Structure 1
Amino acid sequence: MKLAIVTAYPPSKVTLNEYAYHLVKQFIKNQNVTELILLTDRTEGTKDLEFTEAGCKITVKECWSFNSYNNIFSVTKAINKTQPDSVLFNLQFMKFGDKKIAAALGLMLPLVCKLKKIPNIVLLHNILEEVDLGSAGFTSNKLMQKIYGFIGTSLTKLILQADTVAVTMQKYVDILEAKYGATSVKLIPHGTFEIPEEPDYSLPDGPLQIMTFGKFGTYKKVEGMIEAVEMVRQSTGLDLEVVIAGTDNPNVPGYLAQVEEDYKHVPQVRFTGYVEEEDVPVIFNESAVVVFPYTSTTGSSGVLHQAGSYGKAVVMPDLGDLALLVQDEGYKGEFFEPTSVESLAKAIEAIVIDEAYRLELAKTNYKAATAHPMSQIAEMYMETFQDIIDEKYVVNANNNPQKVIL
């Protein structure tokens, strides 16, 4: 199969590029993929294709740009030129831009594939029904939230024209089936990027590192975490370091620089900036606790799966999708009230003062992470493509798939 993936891809800073990297890493090893075609955003640096294991042929077509109104035409042109057998879209609602028209035009691409009779799957990482538009940085205006809701409903109906829409949580399946009458929605778990051999769960000498990882400034804010760690230092006397690993959310440029200035009086607060792929294991392995300082959630958490794969204890807000992941996939953490610094401090303290409890959480999360390796997720997508072809396509005498009108 010549498989095309429409996605952002490293060194892109557009959301979901890291997920694409790890999915590609598995697809190239799949014996049923003869060529992998990456239909990616344009970047200044070269695409990261340095995989340790050889695999199928990889073709890269940089054919779209964030917030470009031309994406629907340029990606369609690339599809016409490369002639893939199937297309996978790695999407969330603002994948192609944070301007409404640019975002909407990009999300029409799955329908284009369907009209062109190309088997296609949309991997939809979030649904607007489960996004707090104010906390996530879209808008706090109630009227605008209603408008966004209408637009989101319309775009969801458009996306559901795909042959299959894959979502990472059962709750999303239930909502899309109940609200939209969708019959082509399938649960495919997020998966765990890398699963190293089981760690020994030991920590490096020096201060215990309390780490958070991601893009910050909207619903992910770090001020409360810094203040919570200060409280734990005072109550326990422990040597703790705050590690803020990541960058600003594109909607809030300059956020972390301002936080760094506002909290420069607080000792042992480290801002790493963007973390290169090869440095991710170091950041996680050196951490005692991984904190999720979120006020809302917008989808299944890749960071939680990463934390589990490195055997880390986690501190999570008791809300939304993170709480569901714990229930559905077997992760375990210390919960806190998302608006309470005191509650966050208590959650962190419960772990750092009790080594046995930290180890219990770490081992439980490693076990949960190993249940869904990315190799398994890639295979699920290949099986789904085959199901689409078997159910909706027939093979003619020339072995070319033709659409069956059902």
Structure 2
Amino acid sequence: MKLAIVTAYPPSKVTLTEYGYHLVKHFRLQKEVTEIVLITDKTKEAKDLSFTEEGCKITVKECWSFNSYKNVFGIMGAIADTKPDAVLFNLQFLKFGDKKVPAALGLMLPLICKLKGIPTISLLHNILEQVDLENAGITKSSFLKKAYNFIGASLTKVILSSDILAVTISKYKGILESKYKSRNVALIPHGAFETPPEPTYQLPKGPKQVMAFGKFGTYKKVEILIDAVEIIRQRTKQDIEIVIAGTDSPNTPGYLNEVSKKYKHVDQLRFTGYVAEEDVPVIFNDSAVVVFPYTSTTGSSGVLHQAGSYGKAVALPDLGDLSILVKEEGYKGEFFEPESAESLADAIENIITYDDYREELSKINYKAACSLPMSDITQMYVDYFAAIQMAKAGNISIDTIIAEREKEREMEKEREAVELLVK
């Protein structure tokens, strides 16, 4: 199968870049995939294709840009030139721009591919019904919120025209099936990017690093983390370094620079800037705890899966999607009230003070990450593409295939649970 993947890709700063990298990394190892056509956004630097494992050929087509009105033509031109057997879209609502028209035009691409008869799966990382538009930095206006929700519902219907729409959280599947009466929605978990050898769970010498990772400034606010560590410093003798790993959200340029000025008096506060893929293991391995200073969520958390794969304890806000994800995929952490620095301080202190507890959380999260490696996730997509071909041949309907696949996964989970009880 010659597979086209439409995604942002490192060193791009556009959303879902890292997930795109790991999709490509693991699809190229699937025996059914003979070539990957990487349909990606334009960057000044070369794309990161420094994979060590032997895999299939990758053809790079840099043909779109964030907020460009011409993305549809560039992407469909690349598809016409390369003639893939199937297309996978790695999407969220602001994937192609934070301006209304470019964003909407980009989300019409799955429909165009479907109309051209190309087997199409769209992976939608968030649904507008679950996005807090104000906290996500989109709009505060009540009128505009209603307008966005109307437009969002219309665009969701367009994306649902894909042969299969994949979501990573069961709640999203339920909402889409209930509201839009869809029967082509598949639950495919997010997956863990890497599954390194099991760590020792020991911390490096020196201050304990309390780390937040991501793109900050909208619903990810680092002030609460800094304030929480300052509270801990006032009441304990813990030696702590605060590590803010990542960049500004595209919606809030200059945010981290302003934070660094505001907190320049705070000791042992480090802003790493953009973290290259090869530096990610170091950032996580050196951390005592990974903190999620979120005021809302917009889908499954790649950072949680990364923290698990490196065997790290986590401090999480008690918010909808994260709470669901923790329960569904077997992660565990210290929860805190989303806007309370005191509550976050308690959560961090519980983890860094008691090494046995920190190691217990770390081991649970590592095990959870190992249960859903990206190799398994990409195989699910390969299986679904094969199912689409079967459906097009008239042998079976898509909704029947989805139901059968998900029933098989539930039975597998039950078998694993029984095996754990026996042990």
Alignment of 1:338-349 (within 5 A): 338-349=338-349
Q: How far off is 1:394 after superposition?
A: 6.4
CA offset digits 1:143-162 (Å, max 9, x no partner) = 11111100100000000000
- State how far apart, in whole Å, the 2-side matches of 1:160 and 1:325 are: 23
- State how far apart, in whole Å, the 2-side matches of 1:313 and 1:276 are: 22
Provide the residue aligned with 2:100 in structure 1.
100
Amino acid at match of 1:74: G
- State how far apart, in whole Å, the 1-side matches of 2:247 and 2:310 are: 21
Provide the residue aligned with 2:206 in structure 1.
206
Provide the residue aligned with 2:31 in structure 1.
31
- State how far apart, in whole Å, the 2-side matches of 1:29 and 1:393 are: 27
- State how far apart, in whole Å, the 2-side matches of 1:50 and 1:312 are: 26
Q: How far off is 1:393 after superposition?
A: 3.4
Q: How far off is 1:26 after superposition?
A: 0.9
- State how far apart, in whole Å, the 1-side matches of 2:197 and 2:229 are: 30
- State how far apart, in whole Å, the 2-side matches of 1:393 and 1:48 are: 38
- State how far apart, in whole Å, the 1-side matches of 2:266 and 2:75 are: 48
Q: How many positions carry a matched residue from both structures?
A: 395
Amino acid at match of 1:338: P
Q: Does 1:54 align with 2:88?
A: no
Alignment of 1:115-134 (within 5 A): 115-134=115-134
- State how far apart, in whole Å, the 1-side matches of 2:310 and 2:135 are: 29
Provide the residue aligned with 1:183 in structure 2.
183
SS across alignment from 1:211? strand
Q: Structure 1: which 5+ residue stretches go unaligned?
A: 396-406
Q: How far off is 1:23 after superposition?
A: 1.0
Provide the residue aligned with 1:228 in structure 2.
228
- State how far apart, in whole Å, the 2-side matches of 1:263 and 1:375 are: 42
- State how far apart, in whole Å, the 2-side matches of 1:392 and 1:165 are: 16
Provide the residue aligned with 2:171 in structure 1.
171
Answer with 290-299 or 45-54: which moved more.
45-54
Alignment of 1:3-402 (within 5 A): 3-393=3-393
- State how far apart, in whole Å, the 2-side matches of 1:147 and 1:28 are: 41
- State how far apart, in whole Å, the 1-side matches of 2:56 and 2:330 are: 34
| Sequence identity percentage | 68
Amino acid at match of 1:159: I
- State how far apart, in whole Å, the 1-side matches of 2:279 and 2:260 are: 22
SS across alignment from 1:304? helix
CA offset digits 1:40-91 (Å, max 9, x no partner) = 1111111111110121111111111111111111111111110000000000
- State how far apart, in whole Å, the 1-side matches of 2:62 and 2:238 are: 50
CA offset digits 1:265-285 (Å, max 9, x no partner) = 110100000001010000000
SS across alignment from 1:5? strand
Query: What TM-score comes out, normalization by structure 1 length?
Result: 0.96
- State how far apart, in whole Å, the 2-side matches of 1:45 and 1:214 are: 21
- State how far apart, in whole Å, the 2-side matches of 1:84 and 1:393 are: 18
Q: How far off is 1:2 after superposition?
A: 0.6
Q: How far off is 1:365 after superposition?
A: 0.4
Answer with 46-55 or 329-338: which moved more.
46-55
- State how far apart, in whole Å, the 1-side matches of 2:51 and 2:352 are: 37
Q: Structure 2: which 5+ residue stretches go unaligned?
A: 396-423
CA RMSD in angstroms, aligned pairs only:
0.9
Provide the residue aligned with 2:401 in structure 1.
none
CA offset digits 1:346-372 (Å, max 9, x no partner) = 111111111111011000000100010
- State how far apart, in whole Å, the 1-side matches of 2:231 and 2:50 are: 44
SS across alignment from 2:165? strand
- State how far apart, in whole Å, the 2-side matches of 1:41 and 1:158 are: 22
SS across alignment from 1:347? helix
- State how far apart, in whole Å, the 2-side matches of 1:33 and 1:329 are: 28
